[in-house]
């Protein structure tokens, strides 16, 4: 296949994936399609499903070992998508791939079925050209990235650890480009630490405050102190740690009742200058200083990870430059991704994919003209690392 044929094949595969309504955690047959394609290219495949029956998550590990020693380069992605939102606001059915004005529309077009299609076609083309390649090519695919992320990549990582499988480098197909394909590569992500703080008071009539204890009043100075705190200054790779409140609930529904409890949900997006333990300790110190009667439940979404310039970033950046003529900016901004789990077993993890302007939005789309170049970026990276 030449570049035009690879572009057309990646587009067809992206359309077939988009046509499957794989709202998390439903894979809707996407991984069967991917596995079938990869097996035809000489890959072995293994299903590692996980989770309760009412939230069953499908996971796929596929691999092809080359004829010569070399590193293991894995592609990682997710077949699940977020819900569509109001269907009447879409200009076309979100699960009918549609072309308008040079764009491919559909839920998952940008996040991230196009990336997966490009990865598969890139691997097929590379293996066809170099069947005796060095090293190993792997695919980690889950249907639980947009969901709780408890039974997806975390389970794949555990399964690989138990079998002693090594991954030396991994490209996650998250949509990282900002304005133009390849302008940004994520070489790390901030950590995410959430908490639910329940403040205990005494419910009572609003006209007799001396007989009650208002938890909102007790919480107010604590919240003001937390909002004003300087958690860290970040570093050359990460912005400063941020504290944000996502929800505040109190009240009985009546205007003349002092509530008995108030609940505050908050989140830290933290740099490598802080740890979950240090952030928890500092919050608990504030609560103790104010003698706040409370209960708090912490939830660690992921620790920060960072891939410093090395063989993977060099190969990927050079490939982007050859295909697009631009050098990518390395960034750690944004939310979390499954890269945080893969980084536990892989020293080099980066994210590279299409423009992210429409992800999770109505009329999600990718530029058709970017699909072929994205497949070429992945293929050239394989060539540089496994030839």
Catalytic residue (one of 26, 27, 124, 145): 145
Can 88 be counted among the known catalytic residues? no
Query: Which residues make Cβ contacts (< 8 Å) with residue 50, sequence separation at least 6?
Result: 56, 57, 59, 151, 152, 155
Determine phi and psi for 186, rounding to 5 degrees: -85, 120
- Residues, the chain: 387
- Is residue 56 helix, strand or coil? coil
Q: How many CB atoms lie within 10 A of CB 309?
A: 11
Can 145 be counted among the known catalytic residues? yes
Give the chain's count of helices (H) and strands (E): 9, 19
- Is residue 38 helix, strand or coil? helix
Residue 199 to residue 297: CA distance in whole angstroms: 12
Tokens of 24: 């998390």
Closest by alpha carbon to 180, among 323, 3, 370? Answer: 370
Query: Which residues make Cβ contacts (< 8 Å) with residue 316, sequence separation at least 6?
Result: 171, 185, 328, 350, 352, 377, 381
- Which CA distances in Å does 357 have to 170, 177, 239, 354? 24, 9, 21, 9
Closest by alpha carbon to 97, among 10, 12, 3, 155? Answer: 12
Q: How many CB atoms lie within 10 A of CB 310?
A: 12
Q: According to the 3-state scheme, what is the secondary structure of 65-80?
A: ECCEEEEEEEEEEECC
Burial class (CB in 10 A: 0-12, 13-18, 19+), 70: middle
Catalytic residue (one of 80, 364, 370, 376): 80
Q: Give yes or no for a contact between 295 and 200, defined as CB atoms under 8 angstroms apart.
A: yes
Burial 27-59 (b: 16+ CB within 10 A, else e): bbbbbebbbebbeebebebeebebbeeeeebbb
Cite the active site residues: 80, 145
């Amino acid at each position: 296949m030449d570049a035009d044929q690879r572009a057309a094949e990646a587009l067809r595969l992206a359309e077939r994936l988009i046509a499957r309504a794989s709202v998390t955690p439903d894979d809707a047959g996407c991984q069967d399609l991917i596995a079938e394609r990869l097996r035809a290219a000489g890959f072995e495949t293994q299903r590692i499903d996980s989770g309760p029956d009412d939230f069953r998550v499908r996971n796929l590990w596929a691999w092809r070992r080359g004829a010569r020693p070399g590193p293991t380069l894995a592609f990682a992605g997710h077949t699940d998508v977020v819900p569509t939102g109001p269907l009447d606001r879409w200009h076309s059915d979100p699960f009918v791939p549609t072309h308008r004005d040079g764009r491919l529309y559909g839920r998952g077009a940008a996040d991230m079925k196009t990336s997966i299609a490009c990865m598969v076609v890139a691997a097929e083309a590379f293996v066809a050209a170099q069947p005796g390649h060095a090293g190993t090519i792997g695919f980690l695919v889950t249907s639980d990235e947009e969901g709780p992320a408890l039974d997806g990549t975390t389970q794949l990582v555990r399964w690989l650890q138990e079998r002693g499988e090594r991954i030396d480098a991994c490209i996650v197909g998250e949509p990282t480009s900002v304005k133009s394909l390849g302008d940004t590569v994520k070489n790390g992500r901030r950590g995410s630490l959430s908490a639910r703080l329940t403040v205990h008071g005494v419910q009572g009539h609003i006209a007799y405050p001396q007989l009650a204890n208002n938890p909102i009043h007790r919480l107010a100075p604590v919240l003001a102190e937390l909002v004003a705190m300087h958690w860290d200054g970040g570093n050359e790779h990460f912005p400063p740690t941020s504290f944000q409140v996502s929800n505040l609930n109190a009240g009985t529904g009546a205007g003349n009742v002092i509530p008995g409890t108030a609940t505050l949900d908050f989140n830290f997006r933290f740099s490598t200058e802080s740890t979950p333990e240090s952030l928890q300790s500092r919050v608990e110190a504030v609560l103790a200083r104010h003698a706040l009667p409370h209960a708090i439940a912490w939830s660690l979404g992921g620790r920060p990870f960072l891939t410093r310039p090395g063989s993977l970033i060099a190969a990927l950046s050079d490939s982007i430059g050859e295909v697009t003529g631009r050098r990518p900016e390395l960034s750690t901004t944004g939310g979390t991704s499954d890269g945080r789990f893969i980084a536990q077993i892989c020293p080099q993890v980066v994210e590279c994919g299409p423009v992210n302007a429409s992800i999770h939005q109505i009329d999600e789309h990718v530029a058709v003209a970017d699909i072929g170049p994205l497949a070429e970026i992945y293929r050239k990276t394989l060539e540089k690392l496994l030839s």
